[in-house]
Structure 1
């Protein structure tokens, strides 16, 4: 739930104010033109409309301390450039629970982040506005400009717009690889390791307390000081692996589920085997005692982690961490997954046009460069994956964008990727609430994934109602 020169930003803002003039004091639109370029400069008479009425927006979001700092700066810019007042409300934990309380108390915000499953439900309940008219009446916003799948629809309406993209990659400690004499992970999809090759490398990088790796017959699996690999066991990274095996919860946004199929079960069994058969990944219980990914990599508790690209922000700030990036191993496919929270406008807002403008403003790499350049977010527009000058503005080599980043995380978005199931599968959260607790038996080695799924599918089946339409 993660750059440009002042002259460029100024031109974009002028375009915003021009649209505001066309809408009158109650409206406004932001962001780039249809080709990704900045809008025309506004004259003083055009920008004077902002003084007619003082508009105040309340904006809720989640994130780290760093994200709060950067979002606050973006809000300050927005206020200075538009005259619109914004109260930023960060909710770092229990976000949807606290937001529910706010709504129940008639204290709903104007605009904010929301996870897709909740967004669809709240849209159906009338808590969210249909932003279709705002989207389509905005002459500087064209649907084809956006990466496929980032516009969340329900029937003929638009529920929200994905604020940013996130994808997954293999991150590794270069020093650990050098010490083990192992070649670095490939960065180009066509060179991706097979799953068996990945296991072999992970074994070489899994070291017990006496310095023996997991290929050594004397290796002590009960006393491991460095694991070759780790990943968090939730739907995001696991779906990245599902696509590597040619499946999803509902492949290709269709109405035939992949859940419980051999390809689906194989992915989960492969992960369970990393823990219980190959001993290259800690059990969930052991992983709880491990530090955060940046610290775990730096201290060589892990040699590799599969994680979301937002961790680049933490890695970049971790002094002494010599890390690299690689492509996720393949099974039958190299298709990437991307996800992202939705930006939504709440139905009770008295200023929906200004709320829409704020959403676009904050998620524009021209306006909020730090959010993209420093590792938290990836853009939601195609031009930032195809236009080299735009790519350079947010993905140029840096501590947050190490060598290989473009090959691993930028090029696949428009080349070979699918949006996460979370964005379009009905009952996604309810399905996971049954699926993942049951899979604990596989992670601990008590049952195979096939056994777990055979027991769990009768409970899950009523929830398999296809995709949101």
Structure 2
């Protein structure tokens, strides 16, 4: 999978496997990682004591290192192809790629952390940074970044923050999949599917503007829009908008709550869902379904597509939240589409699901491991990644290369969204809140069935923080 958490059920099963393997994973051990040796070898035994050591050249760094990742066979071959560019600069470093499927990868990584036998460099999901830092599996990169003058300025702060723990950079961003608003250009350009002449979604839409468009683009079987007084809400044939706030709590609901000045979780990790700002967002999303009839219920959405992010593929939805990776699905469905930033309540906020690369604090060849890690995150590696066309580079130095590959829609939105990325504070317990508790307890209330206040109370009891 490409850096996204595509199935709640699968993730819950994985979470259970990981918890059973974690043992005493809450004991932090970053201190031992910070004492690892410098990546630069000594220049000469005759050099006067106290003088700075010259940085090793790429041709001088040698040896074998391992690189661990999750992914399909295709993704493994893409990584091997990417590493050919790495070896052009570092010809004496041999990289062995170890690839596993998503579930096996995390179970294995947990066991490897316990035995101190991790890959030298390995891929890390933004959702598990805190967990594996607590397991002592991630080297604090602060000294390496400083001693080699690695440039962090090419990353947006929110992107970097996704791979920090307690202010320490424990992994470096690799790619930056993001959730934005997609829309079906074909529906907007046809008078039959846009009889009210709704304008195209704008780049800086408020939710009031998005709602107006959604009303005009929601049609009943008689061709009436949701803005018409005689609209038949029981026989809708085209939806103006799909928003699964309950099922997409991490990628849609949380940034939208922050957009309104609220939070799902406080800084002390206690639940914050009973604040006026948070409840206002929940009530608005409920009204999209039950009052304005522009968004399908959870059941109706599932009848359109298995995943809410893919409802645009049906040709019956005008606008939808979706991941940057969804573009290929829309192309395959022959949908003429484009992208804009998500609508805002007060401020634009986005989620960027940043995959990164971490280094083992137990690596026996730290110079070669750092060469690989810094190359993957640096301009050269990120540009090579962008040329492959499979991922959105996290390093802004590679953005021009990525955007130069014309795919017929506005890819700049994906780059722009990184400026508004929320620092995703994942920690043990929050994953269960976002992927299990909120989908279960909010699905019906946000579809207009059930008491919202009661649901929030039950969420608090289940969350227990």
TM-score, normalised with respect to structure 2: 0.73
Q: Name the SS for the 1:420 alignment partner.
A: coil
What whole-Å deviation, never above 9, does each CA across 1:234-271 have from its counterpart, x for those lacking one? 211222322331233457x7888743211112222322
CA contact (8 A) 2:312 2:319 kept: yes
Structure 1: which 5+ runs fail to align?
A: 3-19, 26-41, 385-389, 463-469
1:215 maps to which residue?
Answer: 227
In 1, distance between residues paired with 2:240 and 2:425?
A: 29
Q: What SS class does the counterpart of residue 157 from structure 2 fall into?
A: coil
- Correspondences of 1:125-144 after superposition (within 5 Å): 125-139=135-149, 141-144=150-153
Deviation string, structure 1 residues 157-212 (Cα, Å, up to 9, x no partner): 4322232334332111101112203211112x3xx2x3233223213222344544
Q: Is residue 86 of structure 2 the alignment partner of residue 75 of structure 1?
A: no
Is contact 1:365–1:379 with CA below 8 Å preserved after alignment? Answer: no
2:354 to 335, 340, 362: 340
Match of residue 256, structure 2, among 210, 218, 241? 241
The one-character-per-residue Cα deviations of 1:307-353 (angstroms, maximum 9, x if unpaired) are 233334554x5373311122322222234444413321233432344
The yes-or-no answer on 1:165 pairing with 2:176 is: yes
Q: Structure 2 residue aligned with 1:272, among 272, 286, 291?
A: 286
CA contact under 8 A between 2:122 and 2:357: conserved in structure 1?
yes
Instruction: Rate the CA distance shift 1:202–1:271 in 2: closer, same or farther, 3 A.
Output: same
Q: Report the Cα offset of residue 230 of structure 1.
A: 1.9
Give the number of aligned pairs. 405
Equivalent pair of 2:243/2:321 in contact (CA under 8 Å) = yes
Query: Would the aligned equivalents of 2:67 and 2:119 in 1 still touch at CA under 8 Å?
Result: yes
Per-residue CA deviations over 1:118-161 (Å, capped at 9, x if unaligned) read 3222222223322223222223x144443224154434743222
Which of 288-297 and 444-453 deviates more? 288-297
What SS does the aligned partner of 1:228 have?
A: strand
Structure 2: 5+ residue stretches without partners: 5-37, 44-54
Distance in 2 (alpha carbons) for counterparts of 1:228 and 1:459: 34
Partners of 1:421 and 1:314 in 2: CA distance: 26
Match of 1:147 in 2: 156
Matched, 1:84 2:93: yes
CA RMSD of aligned residues (A): 3.7
2:335 is equivalent to residue 329 of structure 1: no
Distance in 2 between residues matched to 1:313 and 1:364, nearest whole Å: 26
Cα gap change, 1:159 to 1:294, in 2 (>3 Å):
closer
Cα gap change, 1:65/1:213 in structure 2, threshold over 3 Å: closer, same or farther?
farther
What is the rounded CA distance, in whole Å, between the counterparts of 2:349 and 2:111 in structure 1? Answer: 39
Q: Is residue 440 of structure 1 aligned with residue 440 of structure 2?
A: no
Q: Matches of 2:425 and 2:221 in 1, distance apart?
A: 41
- Work out the CA distance in 2 between the residues paired with 1:46 and 1:288: 55
8 Å contact 1:243–1:337 — kept in the other structure? no
* TM-score normalised by structure 1 residue count: 0.73
Which stretch of structure 1 is more off in the superposition, 258-267 or 104-113?
A: 104-113
Q: 1: distance between equivalents of 2:306 and 2:457?
A: 35
Q: 1:156 to 1:283 in 2, by over 3 A?
A: closer
